[in-house]
Structure 1
Amino acid sequence: MRVNKSDFPILQQKINDHRLVYLDSAATSQKPMSVIESIEQYYKKDNSNVHRGVHTLGSRATEAYEAAREKVAQFIQASSSKEVIFTRGTTTALNLVASSYGRSKLSAGDEIWITAAEHHSNLIPWQQVAKATGAKLCYLELQADGSLDLEQVKGQLGPRAKILAIHHVSNVLGVIQPIADLAKLIHQQGGIIVVDGAQSIPHLSIDVQQLDVDFFAFSGHKMLGPTGIGVLYGKEALLEQMEPIEFGGEMIDFVGLHEASWKELPWKFEGGTPIIAGAVGLGAAIDYLQQVGMDQVEQHDRQLTAYAYQRLSQIDGVKLYGPQESRIGVVTFNLGSIHPHDVATVLDTEGIAIRAGHHCCQPLMKWLEETATARASFHIYNDEQDIEALASGLEKTKEFFGNAIG
């Protein structure tokens, strides 16, 4: 299947009298018409609550919801759909692991290992767990380009290392971390690995069994699906040990006046009316990506990222961050002394959408010795023409500010 921009209706509009060049997919991806229509059709034909009613609409809704779970399980190569928990997104999924597993398993002196490159969603929950349990929050040393040296990591992880929580792909640097190798190292110490997969699931083929991750969290909206739906994958044995952190309808088996018991996996973690339409939309996004082929998605996104890095490096005054190789999805930069917000504002007048700021990675900004950066990020609907538009827009930005590149 060949991706056509016309599959994505939002890209057909003009912004400030220019064609829309959308380069902010790391924040949220655009949606193909098939995803939009799947949600519309659910609400038109099947809208009902799930797992409750015996009427036709209830049966249809339940079937669609659980079919989406099966699609997710197959997409990430989980051993069972029991290991797929629907959440509101990556943030909720990571908080679930931290609050349920982390708080129950850690004690004073235990070590939680992360990096300074983590999104706040994979940093703040562990800060809170460390405060609550007395565990120590420790940081793996990053190389100059944001990558990790496995020998250094091996030397840092000791017998007190209980949890390694790390991004698969950095939302700022684009670096791809060696998750399978990291999983092996933490498992050798008797610990577990929690992976923030928000930026890898849109671009890479994910096999959670091959990676041997214990938990893997991601969002639907970054992989062509709707907002408000995400996934926590967890090994069944670990999920069985964990207690829910939200209580109410849907997740209960028996309730008495003074006690209650929970449903089996995966439903014990899905309290309340679930995100049914979101799951349907996520299933449709998976269908679209699989029709394209994740190998083709990865090849396209790697090549386009490399092209963008090379093209922006030719522009006088551009400073790039992260590795030139082993990266995907994003190119982060600054343009001389021009503030990133000003860069983004001028580009918007040309119809070009990028992100500017700290990207929910304030510790990483400090590590980079920057207050903010500009970020262009890509998906399968982008092409080299979009990169050329960005390059032209940056040259116009320099002219607008009087070539302020010092």
Structure 2
Amino acid sequence: MRLFVAITFQTLLISWTAFGCDLERFHLEKQVSVEENAASADIVFRGFRIAVATPPSNDLGGVRLSAYFNLVNTYKGVDQLKARIGYVFRQINVTFVTRPSTECIQANDIPREYIIFANVVDDNVQASSMATWDENTDERIWKILGWSKWSEWTACSVSCSSGIQQRFRRCRSPKCSGFNVEQRHCNLFGCDGTLNPLALKEEQFYHPSKDRWKKVADRPTAWKLRPNSYIWIPSSELVANQKQIFPRDFTLFITLRVEKDAMGTIFSLRSRNRQDSYLSLEVSGSDLKLIHAASNGTDFIRIPTKLIGGQWHQIAISIRDESVVNSYSDCEWLGTDILKAGTLKIPENSDVIVGYLFTGDLEQLLIVSNPDIVNLQCSRQRTPITDQNL
């Protein structure tokens, strides 16, 4: 099998005349759809802004900005763009004509990632339009260029110590510009201090019984859970082979697929001494809730994961100092919640419960005794690959 990697992460210099901070707004008078822009442009690429020069004023009453971009990927016009980025910086002149604006003209207000639509004019690359990059716009452009939707990301090739995931798509036209495979790194954290309840061999911890637990037909690395299928194990038993106590600070790494309007517990630490003392992560519609109950009451944090029924999601949540929660969903940082000291106190002498009253598929549930690695479940950087055998 022969693979060709598409060009990626080269640096371009883009300059434009603009009035204000909302760059997309400057095209409103000649606004067309991204599909029309993609069809008419010679070159379409995605750029990641890394710097913006100080904007001097000009005779038009606006400003002229110069921004440096890393080229993330090229949708269209790979050969034309290659011929024009033979050295580190390449200037693209983008002119926006609109009425003067009193809004801010600070370079830092410019969104960091763009899709640039451009044509070759007098042997120069000149942008005709642009859009802020997001997953939906990305998919629309690839579709008009003849590509199918991306598949789900595959399971990570390893449970720790850095593996890879891939996703695939097919060309539905006689010829498509672009690539048909994307690859990213996953589970980049080390294996030391990693607890994996889903890998338990002792049958007594599986309910109703180990033989009632079934693998997912289209994802044999995952378990299919039903409301009466769960793991219940004393935390002392889970950490027995690690020669440690259950960590007070830790990161949870979860890969799951929920059904529409799913509910139930994904993970819980429940005190063996007090019925009203527990820390629990639960599905609540498209979001997750981190619930802490103690003798003085119950608190919860809503984590806006935007789970979509029938799709795989990767979730990472860390707890530090019993009061700080960091959360990621599908490689994207969601936010940090800082609570009063001791709000999320971990119950001592607790049971670990996985999957109670939960309906869905669970591929990964790792507990790692390091809250600083919460961002290492999967990388946002993707490598485009062309596989001619697909």
Instruction: Indicate the structure (1 or 2) with the bigger Cα radius of gyration.
Output: 2
Q: Same fold (TM over 0.5)?
A: no
Q: Which has the higher contact order (CA 8 A, sep 6+)?
A: 1
Q: TM-score, normalising length from structure 2?
A: 0.25
Higher helix share: 1
Higher strand share: 2
Q: TM-score, normalising length from structure 1?
A: 0.24
